[in-house]
Structure 1
Amino acid sequence: MKYDCVVVGSGHAGSCAALSAVENGCKKVLLVDSCSPEWVGGNGYFTAGAHRIVHGGLHDLLPLVRNVSPEMASKIDMDPYTAEQFEEDIMRLGGRRSNKALVNAVVHNSRDTLGWLHNHVNVPFIFPFHRQAYEVDGRQKFWGGLVISVEDGGKGLITAHQRALAKAGVEVWFNSPIIRLIVQDNSTKGIIVQRDGLDIEFQTPAVVLAAGGFEANSEMREKHLGPGWEKAKVRGTPYNTGDCLRLAREVGAKFSGDWSGCHSTAWDANAPDSAGARDVTNQFTKSGYPLGVMVNLNGERFVDEGEDFRNYTYAKFGRAILSQPEGIAFQIWDSKVLGSLRKEEYGDGVTEKIYSDTLEGLAQRLGEKGLRDQSRFLSTMQEFNDAVRLHEAEYPDQKADLSIKDGFSTQSSQRSVTPPKSNWALALDRDPFMAVKVTCGITFTFGGLAIDAETAAVVSETTGETIDGLFCTGEMVGGLFYTNYPGGSGLTAGAVFGRKAGYGASLRSGKINS
């Protein structure tokens, strides 16, 4: 039972590590996961497949995507996204607490890693017109720095990985939770997993941990994130319970990062509680709030829905919703914007949609769904609409544009509301009106293991040096994200550090290709 490398976790990051190890010379690579085969893919399966990368604009990425004809390409507006922009987005959203070495590694390896996924894994990349672009004057305008995704989202991503792993000859064991790491004198010697009731020991000089955070463990959520988080709905796999974090700690790994922070988003209130649904996956996300307003059960707004592009706010607004009465909110729009809502999130059969031809009627309908104060709700809507109209009157030359931060707001010299809506603030005054009920969906936790940014090797709490042969990637990495994060960065980081970990494993096992 000897392997050149053992990878723990069958998601995007772990798969990248296993494939990188083979590519760089490892002959015998084993991938183990505690889940059953039906749950392969970890949280990556539940994503939209978006990757945030540095790029030079449209013509830099056209060779990588499969859904753009030459005629379509002539109608696309896509600004370049620089390394400076990517780094600044991570740093500003994280309150400038993110480990700069980790950020630099992700940013400056992002474009090359995307090419690797395209060429070596055969990931079917596309431009996500349905998620990241709006049609403006007959042209598709991309916004928010996120321009590339995967055909069929996370499902397509994990399917590509499964094919590549099989082709590369990686051995995969499911229903095989890790129960112990074997580390002696700061050197990795092996790993013990449990399978069919037996404890099985593997000798290996290199172990890559890619088993996710602790978001599926309600007790750990309450302990680290705080009271109330035990009620959050789990967006993805139920197998990310923090066990590998504990086992790494037992062999001296150093913890790092924001243990009180997580990625959490507006999530369908009717979704399952303790795991995502494999058929629906990311469709339970409800990210259309920038086009309308959100109110709590008391009928009051509680966030600036237009603070920034959705890509920069959706990972923190789940926390804001959870802090409201019963952890529930309603998203509300009028008919002017209903056609701009993403069909995969708000389509028929995806979510329960509450309609009315009047705001008064909508208040009554929402009362049946838990709204406590219909009068306050109507006052909130009236105050919002009045503030929007006064702003429009004061700035008659402004043009509404969903593809930019257009400055359409609730603030003027005559009236302002708290919290403001800083962009895309349009009066809700055209029937029919529509609402959906949302709650907090937790995606992944930000606290994790300290790693070396260049090698993805795990750092020792005792020595401050890396532990020979122990690597980490994906959501187990700590120190990269704090409080919030720019959408699409997670998959990119998992792939970047997965490649580094696989390369390090091949060096450690003495199998490196020249």
Structure 2
Amino acid sequence: MSNQTSYDVVVVGAGNAALCAAISACEEGAKVLVLEKGPEHKRGGNSFFTDGAIRVAYHNLKDIRKVVPDLTDEDAAAVVMPDYHEDDYYEDIMRVTKGESQPELAKQLVNRSFETLVWMKGHGVKFELNYENQSYEKDGKRQFWGGLPVKTENKGIGLMEQLFTRAQELGIDIWYEAAAVELMKKEENICGVAVEQDGKRMTVETTGVILACGSLEANKTFRSEQLGDEWEAAIVRGTEYNTGDGISMATAIGAEKFGEYSGCHSIGTDYNAPKVGDFNKPGDIYKKHSYPLSIMLNKDGKRFVDEGADFRNYTYAKYGREILKQPDHVAYQIYDSQVRPLLRKEYDLEEATYYKGESLLELVNQLPVDKQQFLKTIEEYNDAVQGGEYNPTEKDGKKTTGLTPEKTNWALKIENGPFYAYPVTCGITFSFGGLHVNSSGEVLKKDNKPLSGLFAAGEMVGGIFYHNYPGGSGLMSGAVYGKLAGSAAARYVLGNKKDTKITN
């Protein structure tokens, strides 16, 4: 810890958004401090736990090669990658948020996405093609789908290692086990941050603060108040330190809450996953995202969602909530041996909980479920499956008829043993509610005017995601708004310093 107690810009948090903000502010010439509430071995926020997939608008494979330079001509020739333009990205956001995403914020995220990826690469972040989770082999080529072809090398672990390395190279100070507890104002301007470390409280003088310390998902009380009592049972997929501190500090000095506080990003995760993110087992290893190829049944033996409504990129962030609503907050993803080889890598990990039976009866007899109804539901599903070509690389229209709910794509009979059941529960990632900010990351008051000197990025930005979100948009939003907030905060602080010198 440095003895310095005065900085141009203080960043609260140390995940992807926070470090992008710190690096961006440093680029502008600001002296920057990063405050990490957790210890050094638990740094990196939720970003540390992601699989690194990052959604970006691009015009062709040539664009992608600008951020994945290791891709050889031979590799490129073996790839089929549909274009994913800014309009496609924006339409995906609007479609899954039911048109509620704030257009100004969504367009900023989309339009700045590619340039931000190029900027991150320039600061040492390494990207690679997302072969594992977003492509299938067909006709001797890797066919990409779903608008998510790029990920960070070595998942979120690699992303955060590279960002911390760059922050250190730039001389950015980072204090660990240093919790920001209060924002100080002089007249109407930010003038400092109260920090608790080692049981002591001190004030760091600054006129620019960037809040990038996540949402409220790890705070059981806040979670239940905002989302509902049942959310006490949800597993916290990421860091235990995202407890709503930034929201509380900002609203205490007049910032406006904004966005869907009753909504969150939640997924189907392994029923036996840790109750909070385990920093010794990072990399999003507990998720179970091949469910569009499954049927999911609750313990009463009933299906409850259309598993094949869309690619998992556009349904996974809302289906966790649906699992939470089921008896005992559990569901079972059912696969047969036709589909089992197509499942994502997380299904092969030793951490994956599953049951296996040579027959459906043998499988179901191992499960704590209504066995008769379970078997009846599978039989009814098999009878309802229609003909057509099964193709996991596209929405194939291979569906059921006569069921509630129907399965509208990838409906294949469950008939070839051995059979598998993967128990899943709900894991919460972050709340969609945050602070009201403008497209530069300035935090706004209720009168829509900036709260001078206060900025926000990452999960702190309310108003982009409602109901659901397109996979990979969270990391991209964190990077885009981190970069914007860092730059805006530094210009604000340094501009004021210059004006003060001129006045003096």
- TM-score, structure 1 length as denominator? 0.94
Secondary structure, aligned partner of 1:410: coil
Aligned pair 1:23/2:27, yes or no? yes
Equivalent in the alignment of 2:13: 9
Distance 1:106 1:64 in 2: 18
Distance 1:130 1:222 in 2: 36
Secondary structure, aligned partner of 2:82: coil
Q: Which amino acid aligns with 1:470?
A: L
Distance 2:417 2:282 in 1: 29
How far residue 348 of structure 1 moved from its aligned partner, in angstroms, is 4.0
Aligned residues with identical type, % of pairs: 42
Distance 1:217 1:304 in 2: 31
How far residue 70 of structure 1 moved from its aligned partner, in angstroms, is 2.2
Distance 1:184 1:385 in 2: 68
Contact 1:234 1:276 in 2 (8 A): no
Residues 121-160 of structure 1: matches in 2 within 5 Å?
121-160=123-162
How far residue 281 of structure 1 moved from its aligned partner, in angstroms, is 3.4
Equivalent in the alignment of 1:382: 379
Distance 1:171 1:212 in 2: 20
Q: Which amino acid aligns with 1:408?
A: K
Contact 2:257 2:462 in 1 (8 A): yes
Q: Which amino acid aligns with 1:437?
A: P
Secondary structure, aligned partner of 1:228: helix
How far residue 66 of structure 1 moved from its aligned partner, in angstroms, is 5.3
Q: Over aligned residue pairs, what C-alpha RMSD do you find?
A: 1.4
Residues 70-149 of structure 1: matches in 2 within 5 Å?
70-119=73-122, 121-149=123-151
Contact 1:294 1:301 in 2 (8 A): yes
Equivalent in the alignment of 2:315: 313
Secondary structure, aligned partner of 1:442: strand
Structure 1 runs of 4+ aligned residues shifted over 2 Å read 66-70, 274-278
Aligned pair 1:64/2:54, yes or no? no
How far residue 71 of structure 1 moved from its aligned partner, in angstroms, is 1.7
Equivalent in the alignment of 2:223: 221
1:127-166: CA deviation from partner (whole Å, max 9, x where unpaired): 0110111111211111111110011100010001110000
Unaligned runs of 5+ in 2: 499-504
How far residue 57 of structure 1 moved from its aligned partner, in angstroms, is 2.0
Residues 403-422 of structure 1: matches in 2 within 5 Å?
403-411=393-401, 416-422=402-408
Equivalent in the alignment of 2:501: none
Secondary structure, aligned partner of 1:365: coil
1:208-231: CA deviation from partner (whole Å, max 9, x where unpaired): 000000000111111100120011
How far residue 53 of structure 1 moved from its aligned partner, in angstroms, is 0.9
Distance 1:71 1:3 in 2: 49
Aligned pair 1:47/2:57, yes or no? no
Distance 2:393 2:124 in 1: 31
Q: Which amino acid aligns with 1:315?
A: A
Distance 1:57 1:290 in 2: 27
Equivalent in the alignment of 2:239: 237
Distance 1:133 1:84 in 2: 22
Q: Which amino acid aligns with 1:426?
A: L
How far residue 82 of structure 1 moved from its aligned partner, in angstroms, is 1.1
Distance 1:440 1:208 in 2: 31
Equivalent in the alignment of 1:361: 362
Secondary structure, aligned partner of 2:363: helix
Distance 2:133 2:50 in 1: 13
Cα 1:9/1:381, change in 2 over 3 Å: same
- TM-score, structure 2 length as denominator? 0.96
Contact 1:266 1:318 in 2 (8 A): yes
1:451-473: CA deviation from partner (whole Å, max 9, x where unpaired): 011x2000012x32001110000
Contact 1:24 1:511 in 2 (8 A): no
Equivalent in the alignment of 1:452: 438
Matched residue pairs, number?
Answer: 494
Q: Which amino acid aligns with 1:167?
A: E
Contact 2:180 2:193 in 1 (8 A): yes
Secondary structure, aligned partner of 2:494: coil
Secondary structure, aligned partner of 1:487: coil
Contact 1:67 1:127 in 2 (8 A): no
How far residue 441 of structure 1 moved from its aligned partner, in angstroms, is 0.3
Cα 1:92/1:403, change in 2 over 3 Å: same
How far residue 56 of structure 1 moved from its aligned partner, in angstroms, is 1.1
Equivalent in the alignment of 2:409: 423
1:347-402: CA deviation from partner (whole Å, max 9, x where unpaired): 14121221111111111011xxx21x1010001000111111xx11xxxxx32111
Contact 1:65 1:125 in 2 (8 A): yes
Secondary structure, aligned partner of 2:366: helix
Distance 1:73 1:400 in 2: 26
Secondary structure, aligned partner of 2:74: helix
Q: Which amino acid aligns with 1:478?
A: G
Residues 161-180 of structure 1: matches in 2 within 5 Å?
161-180=163-182
Equivalent in the alignment of 1:395: none
Equivalent in the alignment of 1:206: 208
Residues 435-450 of structure 1: matches in 2 within 5 Å?
435-450=421-436
Equivalent in the alignment of 2:39: 36
Moved more, 62-71 or 153-162: 62-71
Distance 1:286 1:234 in 2: 15
Contact 1:236 1:281 in 2 (8 A): no
Secondary structure, aligned partner of 1:177: strand
Contact 2:157 2:282 in 1 (8 A): no
Secondary structure, aligned partner of 1:123: coil
Secondary structure, aligned partner of 1:316: helix
Q: Which amino acid aligns with 2:491?
A: L
How far residue 15 of structure 1 moved from its aligned partner, in angstroms, is 0.2
Cα 1:280/1:189, change in 2 over 3 Å: closer
Distance 1:494 1:456 in 2: 11
Unaligned runs of 5+ in 1: 393-397
Moved more, 85-94 or 4-13: 85-94
Distance 1:445 1:276 in 2: 20
Secondary structure, aligned partner of 1:258: coil
Residues 192-203 of structure 1: matches in 2 within 5 Å?
192-203=194-205
Equivalent of residue 456 in structure 2, options 452, 472, 479: 472
1:386-436: CA deviation from partner (whole Å, max 9, x where unpaired): 111xx11xxxxx32111100001012xxxx211111101110111111111
How far residue 67 of structure 1 moved from its aligned partner, in angstroms, is 5.5
Distance 1:123 1:47 in 2: 15
Equivalent of residue 402 in structure 1, options 382, 392, 397: 392
